[in-house]
Structure 1
Amino acid sequence: MSAPAPRTFAEFFAGIGLVRLGLERAGWEVRFANDIDAAKHRQYEAHFGADEAFALGDVHQLDAAAIPDVTLATASFPCTDLSLAGGRKGLGGAQSSAFWGFFDVLKRLGGRRPPLVLLENVPGLLNSHGGADFAAVLTALNELGYRVDPVMLDAKWFTPQSRLRLFVIAKAVDDDETLAPELLTPSPLRPASLIDFIQRHPEIIWSCASLADPPTASPQKLADVLEKLADDDSTWWSGERAEYLLNQMSPRHRADADAMIARRRWTYGAVFRRVRRAADGEKRSMAEMRTDGLAGCLRTPKGGSGRQILFKAGYGRYAVRLLTPRECARLMGAGEFTISGSNNDALFGFGDAVCSSVLTWIGENYLNRLASECLSPRQLELFCR
């Protein structure tokens, strides 16, 4: 067989395509995409155009023969069962078990298997079932001939959104720029908890690259990505509804809100509703606000707690509304993304996506170097024999 073209990739669990968006900025070209969600597929096509390379359907049912030769396969497999919302069922849950469908695709590709794989999921994967789920993922990749390198990146380093994610770069190519696990020291990319996992699992075949830390502070604040909506825009909540939210705040958050209202300038906070146990011991919905210039992690709007709320205050006044789809796009590093479908569709799409700016950094600072390795005479001999 011939070697795959450099910087080409297949995007599994593509969603609305923000992995593609980020990697394209780093010089990569998509050759195949797959997702099971028709609404996300429509949003994908609204931005990128209709493409025969997109296979809509269950990853377990994909025809491996229809997947072209590529250098990289990416997989942002479902995180629901790795979180509290999914009951922490782990990789055996109905959604997160989709990883095994992706694994099976790689296995069936045989000699056409991409030399590089990039996985993305929530940090909860690290500790799911006491670390057993993460170890199973990495061991499975080892079984297919990949050495693995896990790192963590936070969207807040690139955009004003707190969104920490776990990435695994798996490589079937030689990488000379690596560190032995025992030499790893805590850093933004590999915090102590991740290094502890690596060092406690010597049975896993690691290939931890020596990487310079990314910038760890976004050049933007929440205020910089907000749409300028008129005071009478229907997006703003009624006075009664806004007051209700204000009264849902704990004394600490209410003090922050009152201080914002009293200022002689506009300031902004990002609010989520949470079910908390109040001082009287009863569980009730509480409004929790962050005022550090960042939005909280965008989520899918499956319930009221998943919808992020903007609190604007100053000059003795305050106003409240949900974040708009365009603001969510900007928080995901995708300000130019074509918004389509209903607001709910858009919020689902962005809440389930990967911050594209993070993918660009990974592409430019890690994957591009590995793609060059794929074209070395030594690697070409492996691919072509």
Structure 2
Amino acid sequence: MKLEKTAADFFAGIGLVTMGLVKQGWEVKYALDYSDEKRRMYEGNFRGGHYHHKDIREISGIEVPKVTLAHASFPCANLSVAGSRTGLHSGESSTFWDFVRLISEMGELRCGGKPPFILIENVEGFLTSGCGEDLIVALTALNNLGYAVDILVIDAAHFVPQSRVRLFILGNLFGLSQTCDELEQIMSKPTDARPQKVKNFIAANPTIRWSLRKVPDLPQRTINLADIVDETEQWWAKERTEYLFNQMFERHQAQIRLMMQNEYWLYGTVFRRMRVRDGIKQSTAELRTDGIAGCLRTPKGGSARQIIVRAGKGRFDARLINARESARLMGASEYLIPENISLNNILFGFGDAVCVPVIEWIAKNYLNLLFDELNSAMKTSLPAA
């Protein structure tokens, strides 16, 4: 038997994980999400009729085709430091357990139906949620399904001009338990994809069945914020821009004035946050000018919409980041932006997604190598004809 590069994408959203996997030779045979707007965006980019508009709590493992990889980007609301932090057993984040249930059912309902590989994505806060207990419970549940596990933490800023740190769990059914010496040998190899806080977590939890793999360092980003700016977009009127300027701390206003002295455009981003300014807690525009945007968010409120600014040539301009720029910040510049879906829903789709080149990197440097090794091992274990 030979494995094929097939995948199921749970919590698929608008399909950026699908895009990253496809670019590395994988075929997504099944995609699931409960949002009709996300389905319409997904199907506008990926044909084939494999997207299922349904709540994960309503499906059974027998409905999922046999695949080699199962991916899940389950909701982060109860794990994120920006969310409720109520943990893995509450709210939307509890749908992790439905993913576990489905994987179990795939093994029970179909001979050999459990996917050999799993990939799970969530916020970095998963590492510390419940003082680390949520992640321990999740990894133990995957161990109980037969998966040995690994953890990576990757900032999308290595690929695109956006600060977006995410935790990835990788599991496989064929990883043997590693001794403390073997774990230490792999963890001693420097890689920024497995930072010290991840190594500390692994070392502190020897009862977890680990299967760590050597991975290279993450690449150095080659593009900056200026490279993703859509210059066809209209900038705000002077009055609105001045209002934003007056919401800034004095040090940020001074920075803008300095940027305006240049004969070329310099770019930055702004988020509005409640801060104590001039002795009063009030909406404050915080400026960032290091060449990357802040983490894209779902636009649930006015403060969640990120603002792009440019200064130079004696001017200062500002406006909201648009859909095309959001796509570029997610490494999905070729994504087909739909015309029949509201801008807010489009931005929600991108803000709730996974950065495409991060998935490509994981597929190229981890999943594909593991896939090739397993296929080779299965080939050599077959009896001679």
TM-score tier, shorter chain, comes to: over 0.9
Could you say which residue in structure 2 is the equivalent of 1:47?
45
The AA in structure 1 aligned to 2:370 is L
The CA distance in 2 between the partners of 1:37 and 1:325, in whole Å, is 18
Shift of 1:187: 3.3
Q: What TM-score, normalized by structure 1, do the two folds share?
A: 0.92
TM-superposition CA deviations, 1:22-67 (whole Å, max 9, x none):
0111111111110111111111011113x43212111111121121
Matched residue type, 1:314: G
Q: What residue number does 1:180 align with?
A: 182
1:253 maps to amino acid: H
Q: Does 1:321 align with 2:319?
A: yes
Does the residue aligned with 1:289 lie in a helix, a strand or coil? strand
User: 1:92 — aligned with what?
Assistant: 89
- Give the Å deviation of 1:374: 3.2
- Listed as ranges, the gaps of 5+ residues in structure 1 are none
Tell me, which stretches of 5 or more residues in structure 2 are unaligned?
none
Structure-2 separation of matches of 1:377 and 1:357: 29
1:374–1:380 contact (8 Å) kept in structure 2 = no
Compared CA separation, residues 315 and 377, structure 1 to 2 (3 A): closer
User: What SS is found at the alignment partner of 1:263?
Assistant: coil
Q: 2-side partners of 1:210 and 1:277: how far apart?
A: 46
Which of residues 225, 230, 233 in structure 1 aligns to 2:228? 225
Who is 1:67 aligned against? 64
Query: Post-superposition shift, 1:251?
Result: 1.8
Partner of residue 336, structure 2: 338
2:152 aligns with 151
Separation (CA, whole Å) in 1 of partners of 2:307 and 2:72: 30
- Distance in 2 between residues matched to 1:165 and 1:75, nearest whole Å: 13
Q: Provide the rounded CA distance (Å) in 1 between the counterparts of 2:275 and 2:194.
A: 32
Q: Give yes or no for contact 2:30–2:50 (8 Å, CA) kept in 1.
A: yes
State the shift of 1:174 in Å. 3.9
Match of 2:355 in 1: 355
In the alignment, the residues of structure 2 paired with residue 207 and residue 222 of structure 1 have an alpha-carbon distance, to the nearest angstrom, of 37
Answer 1 or 2: higher relative contact order, Cα 8 Å, separation at least 6.
1
CA shift, 1:85, in A, is 3.7
Deviation at 1:173, TM superposition (A): 2.1
CA distance in 2, matches of 1:267, 1:284: 27
- Secondary structure of 1:112's match? coil
Mapped contact 1:6–1:372 kept (Cα < 8 A): no
Question: C-alpha distance in 2, partners of 1:271/1:175?
Answer: 47
The equivalent residue for 2:122 is 121
Cα distance in structure 1, aligned partners of 2:195 and 2:27: 31
1:209 corresponds to which letter in structure 2? Answer: R
1:274 counterpart SS class = strand
Deviations 1:90-134 (A, max 9, x none): 212211111111110001111311000000011000000100111
Q: 1:129 to 1:379 in 2, by over 3 A?
A: farther
2:255 is aligned with 1:256? yes
The offset of 1:278, in angstroms, is: 2.6
Consecutive aligned runs of 4 or more in structure 1 exceeding 3 Å deviation: 174-179, 376-382
Could you tell me how far apart the structure 2 residues matched to 1:380 and 1:6 are?
Answer: 17
- Alignment map for 1:1-385 (pairs within 5 Å): 5-49=3-47, 51-110=48-107, 111-174=112-175, 180-183=182-185, 184-185=187-188, 187-215=191-219, 217-229=220-232, 235-280=234-279, 282-340=280-338, 341-378=341-378
Within 2, Cα distance between the matches of 1:353 and 1:47? 15
Structure 1 range deviating more: 126-135 or 174-183: 174-183
Q: Secondary structure at the match of 1:96?
A: helix
Aligned-partner Cα distance in 1 for 2:337–2:378:
45
Using the alignment, how far apart are the partners of 2:182 and 2:254 within structure 1? 49
Deviation at 1:380, TM superposition (A): 9.4
For residues 74 and 46 of structure 1, do their structure 2 counterparts lie closer, same or farther at Cα, with a shift above 3 Å needed? Answer: same
Deviation at 1:258, TM superposition (A): 1.3
> In structure 2, the residue corresponding to 1:151 is in which secondary structure?
strand
Q: Distance in 1 between matches of 2:86 and 2:256?
A: 38
Tell me how large the CA RMSD over aligned residues is.
2.0
Identity %: 47
Distance between the aligned counterparts of 2:184 and 2:65, measured in 1?
38
Alpha-carbon separation, structure 1, partners of 2:77 and 2:140:
22
Cα distance in structure 1, aligned partners of 2:149 and 2:372:
18
Count of residues in Structure 1 that have an aligned counterpart in Structure 2: 373
